[in-house]
Amino acid sequence: MNFSLSAKPIATTKADCLVIGLPEKGTWPESTTQADEALGGLIKTLETNGDVTGKNATARAIPVQDAPWDRIVVVGTGKDSDRTLQNYRKALIAAVNAVKDTPAKSALIALADTGVSGTEAASSEAARLKLIGRSLEEHLYAFTGYKSKQPEAPKLNKVTVGASGTGKALKDAFHLGLATGRGMNYTRDLGNTPPNICHPEWLAEQARTLAKENDCIQTEILDEKQMKELGMNTILAVGQGSAQPPRLIVMEYRGGKPDDKPYVLVGKGITFDTGGISLKPGAGMDEMKYDMGGSASVFGTMKVLTEVQPKINVVAVVAAAENMPDGGASRPGDIVTTLSGQTVEILNTDAEGRLVLCDALTYVKKYDPEAVIDLATLTGACIIALGHHATGLMANNDGLANDLLAAGERADDRAWRLPLWDDYQNQLDSNFADMANIGDRSAGTITAACFLARFTKEYRWAHLDIAGTAWHSGKAKGASGRPVPMLVDYLMSNADS
């Protein structure tokens, strides 16, 4: 797909399809006014007759004649006062999907001059171009590599986005948006890959490939022998029931000054989760291939960094294992010693994500990090609490938590903070070890984070529970690519200019 910016008047820019925004109430954007003049008042007539509407996220394709375009797609953008960042993105998604449904090979998107109200997140043209770029990549995505009969290739192969100029600031914003979308799609590719292919060593190979293709990435892979020598017994305990051995995958991006402390991302990489001896119900277990969604998002974020190369140091650590129930698997009642020296009584082998993460979170202390963010499809309780809209966020530092929340708002990849009070810690008490790996049924998302907090006292740390946001179920089944946009925004906001 060829993407570009253009500052040429749309009336002189040829394309098979022109996409314009139509507000429900309020002043038309300049691009829509220009298109209407070029079409002899057609858009106004269609609006007056009720053939098109400004209702948000509605879209209609209309053939036209004697114009630089064969058709126009009129996208409703709602009332000016209601055009939040979220509603604007809904309109962008409707626009992309409408263009895909036409036979157009080229499209001109004229939506960057549609204003957004109620937030500073998209108040600038650069911010809107970033969101347009991301939405184009995100919603032109398809995962079809495992179908024996491939669908027809999409006809659309060239997209031009109208802008007020093509200077460096606007180009960089658009490029960052496209790169973010591609990072999300890389995350989705990893998440959607079937678990008979996507296992810990396969994930390690993806890291090696990323380093081979990008000089700015260095990779180190720790195998089970090396982890045993270090004392990473909880990762090993989770993986010991599988024929696929666990791996600790380290990827380093060094774009900042040599002495700058790195930002560390830690991803849960359970490539398939049966629950182990504490076996999950069979219904829907196929979706447990998405239990490596945290690691996939770490990979996707690193992919974005290779494209935009910001001046920042980032270390990514993926704790990869497969949780299977064979004769050598961990049992409820087992006690293991973590890399930190603390002991854990495993009461439920299906609470394995926190076990692989705790050793990884201890391991990353060696980097003297500026901040550590872990990402994990950790608890079903988070879905009960927040549904599929918001990522659960818990942190031991208010500044870090607030920065991540703000990044999520700017990127329309939102999180909601839950408490991490010491009041919850006694739910993890064990009669036989320093702690149990689960509490009772109450506050499951919080007690999981409380478990991790015991390994993160020496640095600023935030935990993102993405169980409800990393993938879609049902007809739209597939990995979502979240929270790559939030992480990219956060890292870019902390990079040197």
Q: What is the DSSP letter of 326?
A: S
Q: How far is CA 121 from CA 218, 308, 393, 401, in A?
A: 33, 20, 20, 18
- Separation of first and last alpha carbons in the chain: 29
Cα–chain center distance at 236: 27
DSSP 22-81: E-SBSPPPHHHHHHHHHTTSHHHHHHHTTSS--STT-EEEEE-SSSSEEEEEEEE--BGG
**Gap between the Cα atoms of 137 and 377, Å rounded:** 24
361 is written with which tokens? 């979170």
Q: Which amino acid is it at 444?
A: G
| Dihedral sign from CA coordinates of 471, 472, 477, 483 | negative
Is 354 labeled as catalytic in the residue annotation?
A: yes
Active site residue 454: no
Question: What is the C-alpha to C-alpha distance for residues 116 and 134, in angstroms, rounded to an integer?
Answer: 17
Longest Cα–Cα distance in the chain: 81
Residue with tokens 């950790």: 378
Q: Is 341 helix (H, G, I), strand (E, B) or coil?
A: coil
Cα distance between residue 237 and residue 349, in whole Å: 9
- Among residues 90, 354, 410, 460, the one annotated as catalytic is 354
Q: Say if residues 292 and 273 touch (Cβ distance below 8 Å).
A: no
- Determine phi and psi for 36, rounding to 5 degrees: -60, -40
Dig out the tokens for 207 from the structure.
Answer: 């890291």
Phi then psi for residue 336, to 5 deg, are -125, 155
Q: Could you tell me the CA-to-CA distances from 226 to 229, 240, 284 in Å, in that order?
A: 5, 15, 35
Rounded (5°) CA angle 216-217-218? 125
Catalytic pick from 44, 60, 208, 280?
Answer: 280
Q: Between β-strands 247-254 and 217-222, what pairing exists: parallel, antiparallel or unpaired?
A: antiparallel
3-state helix, strand, coil in the chain (%, to 5): 40, 20, 40
Return the active site residues: 280, 354
